[in-house]
C-alpha cells in the first residue's frame, strides 16, 4: 500500500503522524511510505531521517495526496485537506466527528473510507490511540489550572501544595480514566489534597494507591457529595466521556456552583479553576470533551 503522511495544517499543530522508526516498520512489511517535505520538523525529525528509514520525501501536499492510497494524519482534515481527498482514499487520523457535523457531511460527500484513531479499540475495549492524547490533556489540565489560580491570572493566589502555616489546595477530579487519572496523579504529586470520582472499583483502587492525599469516591445518583466537594475545591479537572456524543462543558448540576470558570485545555478534558467572586457566578466557557465515564 502507498501510505502518505502530509504536514499538519491545523493552527498550532506540530506533530507528525508517523515517526521515522514507525515508517521503517511499514517499509519492511512491503509498504511504500511517502511524507511531505518538512512534515516532521516541528516534532524534531528532519527529512533526511525519514529518507534513511526508506521513506520517499514529496515536495508538496498536492503530489502526496495524488500518490497515496492511505492518508495518515494527526488531526482531522480542514479545508485544504478536504479539497485534496478522493473517494478512493483511506483516511486514518483523529476525527472527533460527534463534535464536527460539518466535517462528517464533507467526508460523506467525498465518499472515502475513514478510520478514527479515537474509535480503534483493543481486545479489552480500551482505546490505545486515544490514551496518549488523554494523558497529555489530563496533565495539561492541572498545569494550566494551577497557572489560573495565580493572582495575576485572576485566581485566588492559591498554591495547590500549600505552605507551612497555610492549607493545601483541594483538587476534585471527575472521572479516573487516562485523562482524569493523570490529572489526579500530577495534582497529588504537587502536594494537593485530591478527591477523585469514578464508577469503576478498579480505577478507584488505583487512585487511592497514588498516595495518602488522594481520596477516591463513587458518584451517587443525585451527585450531592460531588457538588459539595466542588464548592470547596480550588481546581476541578472534568474528564467525563460521553461515547459518540459531544460532552457538555460541565455536568448540568455544575450550574449550582459559585465562581466556577472553565479554562480551555483540549478536546480530551477540561478544568475549572475557582476564581474570586468578582466574576459572574456560574460563568462557563464551553469546550468539547471525551474522557472517562462517571455520569450516572
Cβ 57 vs Cβ 47: under 8 Å? yes
- Determine which helix (DSSP H) or strand (DSSP E) holds 187, and give its type and residue range: helix 178-189
Query: In this structure, are 188 and 111 located in the same domain?
Result: no
Query: In this structure, are 58 and 140 located in the same domain?
Result: no
What are the tens digits of pLDDT across the range 159-191? 999 999 999 999 999 999 999 999 999 999 999
Q: Which of 94, 119, 144 is the last residue of a domain?
A: 119
Query: In this structure, are 156 and 83 located in the same domain?
Result: no
Query: In this structure, are 104 and 234 located in the same domain?
Result: no
The pLDDT value recorded for residue 22 is 97
Pairing of β 2-5 and β 70-72? parallel
CATH number of the structural domain spanning residue 241: 3.40.50.720
- Give the N- to C-terminal CA distance of the chain in Å, as an integer: 45
Cα separation of 100 and 115, whole Å?
Answer: 15
The pLDDT value recorded for residue 273 is 52
**How many CB atoms sit inside 10 A of residue 21's CB?**
10
pTM of the model: 0.75
Distance set, CA 230 to CA 72, 195, 264, 284 (Å) = 41, 10, 18, 15
Question: Of the candidates 23, 95, 34, 102, which has an alpha carbon nearest to the alpha carbon of residue 65?
Answer: 34
Torsion of CA 284, 285, 288, 294, to 10 degrees: -20
Q: Does residue 140 lie in a domain region?
A: yes
> Does residue 136 carry a pLDDT above 50?
yes
Query: In this structure, are 137 and 107 located in the same domain?
Result: no
Determine the length of the chain: 296
Query: In this structure, are 261 and 198 located in the same domain?
Result: yes
| Proportion of the chain above pLDDT 70, given as a percent | 81
Q: Does residue 285 lie in a domain region?
A: no
Query: In this structure, are 137 and 254 located in the same domain?
Result: yes
Number of domains in the chain: 2
Domain that holds residue 218: 131-274
Q: Which of 119, 149, 171 is the last residue of a domain?
A: 119
Query: In this structure, are 153 and 114 located in the same domain?
Result: no
Query: In this structure, are 14 and 41 located in the same domain?
Result: yes
What are the tens digits of pLDDT across the range 211-263? 999 999 998 877 778 888 888 888 888 877 656 555 544 554 444 443 433 33
| Average pLDDT value for residue range 195-206 | 95
Cα separation of 41 and 244, whole Å?
Answer: 33
Query: In this structure, are 223 and 264 located in the same domain?
Result: yes
Cα separation of 20 and 14, whole Å?
Answer: 16
Query: In this structure, are 36 and 81 located in the same domain?
Result: yes
The pLDDT value recorded for residue 57 is 98
Question: Where does residue 263 rank: exposed (0-12), middle (13-18), buried (19+ CB within 10 A)?
Answer: buried
Q: Which of 119, 139, 154 is the last residue of a domain?
A: 119
Amino acid at each position: 500500500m502507498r501510505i502518505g503522511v502530509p504536514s499538519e495544517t491545523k493552527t498550532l499543530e506540530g506533530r507528525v503522524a508517523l515517526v521515522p522508526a514507525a515508517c521503517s516498520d511499514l517499509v519492511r512489511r512491503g509498504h511504500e511510505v511517502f511524507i511531505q517535505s518538512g512534515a516532521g520538523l516541528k516534532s524534531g525529525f528532519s527529512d533526511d531521517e525519514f529518507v534513511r528509514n526508506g521513506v520517499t520525501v514529496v515536495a508538496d501536499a498536492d503530489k502526496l495526496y495524488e500518490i497515496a492510497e492511505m492518508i495518515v494524519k494527526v488531526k482531522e482534515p480542514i479545508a485544504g485537506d478536504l479539497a485534496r481527498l478522493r473517494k478512493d482514499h483511506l483516511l486514518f487520523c483523529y476525527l472527533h466527528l460527534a463534535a464536527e457535523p460539518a466535517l462528517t457531511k464533507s467526508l460523506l460527500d467525498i465518499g472515502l473510507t475513514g478510520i478514527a484513531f479515537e474509535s480503534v479499540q483493543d481486545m479489552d475495549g480500551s482505546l490505545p490511540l486515544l490514551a496518549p492524547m488523554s494523558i497529555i490533556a489530563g496533565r495539561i489540565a492541572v498545569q494550566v489550572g494551577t497557572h489560573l489560580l495565580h493572582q495575576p491570572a485572576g485566581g485566588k493566589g492559591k498554591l495547590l501544595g500549600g505552605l507551612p502555616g497555610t492549607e493545601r489546595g483541594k483538587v476534585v477530579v471527575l472521572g479516573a480514566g487516562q485523562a482524569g487519572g493523570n490529572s489526579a496523579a500530577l495534582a497529588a504529586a504537587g502536594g494537593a489534597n485530591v478527591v477523585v470520582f469514578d464508577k469503576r472499583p478498579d480505577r478507584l483502587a488505583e487512585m487511592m494507591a497514588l498516595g495518602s492525599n488522594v481520596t477516591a469516591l463513587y458518584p451517587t445518583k443525585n451527585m450531592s457529595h460531588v457538588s459539595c466537594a466542588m464548592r470547596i475545591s480550588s481546581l476541578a479537572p472534568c474528564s467525563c466521556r460521553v461515547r459518540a456524543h459531544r460532552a457538555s462543558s460541565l455536568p448540568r448540576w455544575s450550574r449550582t456552583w459559585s465562581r466556577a470558570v472553565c479554562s480551555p485545555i483540549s478536546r480530551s478534558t477540561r478544568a475549572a479553576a475557582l476564581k474570586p467572586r468578582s466574576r459572574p457566578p456560574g460563568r462557563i466557557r464551553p469546550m468539547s470533551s471525551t474522557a472517562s465515564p462517571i455520569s450516572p
